[in-house]
Structure 1
Amino acid sequence: MAKSFRWFWSSDKSKKPEIDLTSELLNELSRFRFPLVVVQVFLIIGTLGYLALEDYTLIEAFFQASYTFTNTGFGALKEHKFTPITIIFTTVLMLIGAATITFCVAIVVNVIMGGKLISIIKEVKMINKIARLKNHYVIFYHNEFSLQLSRHFLKAQIPFVVIDNGEHFEKEAIENKYPYYINDDPHSINTILKSHISSAKGAVIFSKNTTDNIAIIVSIRLYQEELKRKKYNIISIANKEEEIDKLKKIGCNYVVSPTNITAQRISSIILKPGSENIIENFMSNNENSLSLEEVVVPKYSWLVLRKLKEAHLREVVRVSVVGIRQKDGQYISMPTGDVLISSECKVLLIGAANDIRQAKKILMRKQKPEELKYV
């Protein structure tokens, strides 16, 4: 019971935003303070004036002051018995009320239409939604690369947050159906915290400026050290070889060069036309298209310390094992069926996307699946 309570408490805590925008929200709402105080002051003055000038109870004086000050009514009480002084007082209170209400409405409209109140409320709502994410990717910068990647992520049901500081980014994010986005400076540590980076799996940086990429990578790695968590999977783009080396040295796991990839694709089309069809098959998102995925065999898997052929992956789910990387780093290419599967080794699977999902379920089982006993 105690363990369950601790798990429930930690789950709630992990879903809280890493940054609090209460101060910014209160700062915007503080602009309503002055008109509210002015209205209250004149209502008090009006109430005390009617108490002194007329034979009113406290509630009658307050009622008379309220509808006189707001110019919403007249004649409900004893206005026909007013003395000249009370009439003058009432007239002045009505004029002050009209001017004050006009002034207050102007301030409210200015705060709502010209201020940041609406945008802050929207941002708070978005940050609270992002705080529920886990194992998501944070995509820095909105451009043609992020557009294409977001479509693949949506099809694969991989959660992601897009960050950009463009003036029209919010409109573009809605048009491109980004489920989670932040319209703020990608370099700011506060912006990174808004993306709930502590629960993220990794980051993809699409800035065409190497300096921007370096700054973001360093910020994420420093935050990672502060959290003392496992390394984020960071992917970036670069065009020059020296930029690729620089990004890898500061902690980027993978650096993709659009220029090199384009040249390689064109070269394969010209020199090896048949190979391009295979590449297109791998890159397709269809369920029956070929897919290549590396799967970690957990310690509890039934296949640990058994021969690879006992899994019958090719016969049962039409998936082939083309490589095995042992925990010590040793790599076995095109392993035979007699290779022993060690704990926490990485198995490289090739097959249809749907078949690979079935193969992963087989590898994750604690007990040998029943269907394999009859193969």
Structure 2
Amino acid sequence: MWKPILLILLMIFIGVVGFHIIEGWPFLDCLYMTIITIFTVGFKEVKNLSPQGRIFTIFIILGGVGTAIFTLTKLGEILYEGGINRFLRRRKMEKKLKSLKNHYIICGHGRMGKTVRERLEEEKLPFVVVDNNEKKLLELKQTYRCLYIEGDAAQEEVLNKAGIKKAKGLAALLSSDADNLYLVLTVKLINPSLFVLSKAMDEEAERKILQVGANKVVSPYKLSGLKIAQGLIRPTLVDFMDLIIRRKELSLYMEEFTVKRDSDIVNRNLSECDIRRTTNVIVVAMKKPGEDIVFNPSPDIKVETGDTLLVLGDKEAIDHFEKSYLGGIS
């Protein structure tokens, strides 16, 4: 920012000193003559110029006018990027935040929060990031690649701004278990039906976070330890599950669907639906409300409202399954 300003001040200094030495004018006259020359105002000279003064003025015009244009251009860019452009982008972001629905809220943009954000970006799902640490949001501020809110995620005002009443799910990934506990409690008071997933570093905290209303709690250390153990015992299985989760190197997808009241699959057993033949999708598991998940469910099991189906197939097959049995793509 300072380079353009220092450059124009240098040109003014050279002009004032030059006119003073060549013409012998007072300081004010030299400054006035330099300013109207550099900025091409076109006012009449203070006094008649000598031949040497005219030659010097030509050089001031050639160097000073270009410098003035360069300086004003740079200052305009700085003003636009630092103020006007930021204001316009912020206004645009606020409009998008107000129109959000069926989105996800990521509370905390640390290492876990960043990983969750990147995955949601890959899935092209709507989301907003909330964090009160300016450094953690620096990348998002510079690129404006996604919606974000700088503020305390546990504050009701901030959560309402993030559209908590219209959200589909919330991830509580703050730095401490106490913060996540308070966040989950606040969220459930505002929107009791919202699906909330929280992280917990301590087993006692995990139990308390579940008690205040979290739908699911993940312990990063426990999860990592289990994965390492499985990697030692069943490395091929772990590789396969990683492929399913990442979806980058494999054309297969695994999706979960909640059966609604108006779904064509309601009150029919799996053998009646003949899902595998009609859509080329495999029902890997089923979970009924309040019961444990059942893997490789029996063909005779009846599908009812509120059941969750875990299906495996390519994207086209899964889309066909959703359209055919669940009433279209949401």
Report the TM-score when normalising by structure 2: 0.66
Between the aligned partners of 1:188 and 1:117, the Cα distance in structure 2 is 29
Contact 2:128 2:149 in 1 (8 A): yes
Following superposition, the deviation at residue 290 of structure 1 comes to 3.9
248 and 267 in structure 1: CA distance in 2 versus 1, 3 angstrom threshold: same
Contiguous gaps of at least 5 residues in structure 2: 1-78
* Superposition map of 1:52-63 within 5 A: none
Structure 1 residues 18-54: Cα deviation after superposition (integer angstroms, max 9, x where no partner): xxxxxxxxxxxxxxxxxxxxxxxxxxxxxxxxxxxxx
Do the aligned residues in 1 keep the contact of 2:109 with 2:137 (CA within 8 Å)?
A: no
Q: Quick one: distance in 2 between partners of 1:272 and 1:330?
A: 24
AA of the residue aligned to 1:198: K
- 1:253 aligned onto 2:215: yes
Tell me the equivalent position of 2:112. 145
CA distance in 2, matches of 1:170, 1:304: 45
Aligned equivalent of 1:361 = 323
1:131: which partner in 2? 98
Indicate how the Cα distance of structure 1 residues 170 and 258 shifts in structure 2: closer, same or farther if over 3 A, else same.
closer
In structure 2, which of residues 219, 238, 251 is the aligned counterpart of residue 276 of structure 1? 238
Cα 1:296–1:192 change in 2 (3 A) is closer
Per the TM alignment, residue 189 of structure 1 is displaced from its structure 2 partner at its CA by 2.0
Percent identity of paired positions between Structure 1 and Structure 2:
25
Residue identity opposite 1:314 in structure 2: R
2:132 corresponds to which residue? 165
Q: Deviation at 1:324?
A: 3.1
Aligned to 2:299: 337
* Aligned-residue offset at 1:289: 4.2
Figure out how many residues of one structure are paired with residues of the other and give that number: 249
CA gap 1:141/1:343 in 2 versus in 1, 3 angstroms: closer
Aligned-residue offset at 1:259 = 0.8
Q: CA contact under 8 A between 2:281 and 2:318: conserved in structure 1?
A: yes
Tell me the CA shift for residue 190 of structure 1.
1.7
AA partner of residue 154 (structure 1): E
Whole-angstrom CA distance in 2 between matches of 1:130 and 1:329: 36
Q: Alpha carbons of 1:181 and 1:347: their partners in 2 closer, same or farther (altered >3 Å)? A: same
Show structure 1 runs of 5+ residues with no match. Answer: 1-111, 226-230, 367-375
* Residues 110, 136 of structure 2: 8 Å contact kept: no
Q: Map 1:1-375 onto structure 2 (within 5 A).
A: 123-175=90-142, 178-224=145-191, 231-286=193-248, 288-326=250-288, 329=291, 333-365=295-327
Residues 321-370 of structure 1, C-alpha deviations (whole Å, 9 max, x = no match): 2333345748654333333333443323223344323212221249xxxx
C-alpha deviations, 1:62-108, integer Å up to 9, x for none? xxxxxxxxxxxxxxxxxxxxxxxxxxxxxxxxxxxxxxxxxxxxxxx
1:317 and 1:359 in contact (8 A); partners too: yes
CA distance 1:309–1:288, shift in 2 (3 Å): farther
Q: Contact 1:140 / 1:186 at 8 angstroms: preserved in 2?
A: yes
Pair 310,203 (structure 1): closer, same or farther in 2 beyond 3 Å: same
Distance 1:169 1:124, change over 3 A: farther
Task: Give the letter aligned to residue 99 of structure 2.
Answer: R
In structure 2, do the counterparts of structure 1 residues 307 and 287 end up closer, same or farther at CA, with 3 Å as the change threshold? farther
User: For 2:99, what is the secondary structure of its paired residue?
Assistant: coil
Q: Secondary structure at the match of 1:234?
A: strand
Give the structure-1-normalised TM-score: 0.59
Question: Secondary structure of 1:146's partner?
Answer: helix
Q: Deviations over 1:96-122 (max 9, x none)?
A: xxxxxxxxxxxxxxxx99xx9997776
C-alpha distance after superposition, 1:191-248 (max 9, x if no partner): 11211211111211211211211221111111125xxxxx111111112211211111
Equivalent pair of 1:208/1:237 in contact (CA under 8 Å): no
Shift of 1:157: 1.6
What's the RMSD between the two structures over aligned residues? 3.0
Asked whether the equivalents of residues 265 and 276 of structure 1 are also in contact (C-alpha less than 8 Å), the reply is yes
Q: Compared with structure 1, are the counterparts of its residues 335 and 270 closer, same or farther at alpha carbon in structure 2 (3 Å cutoff)?
A: closer
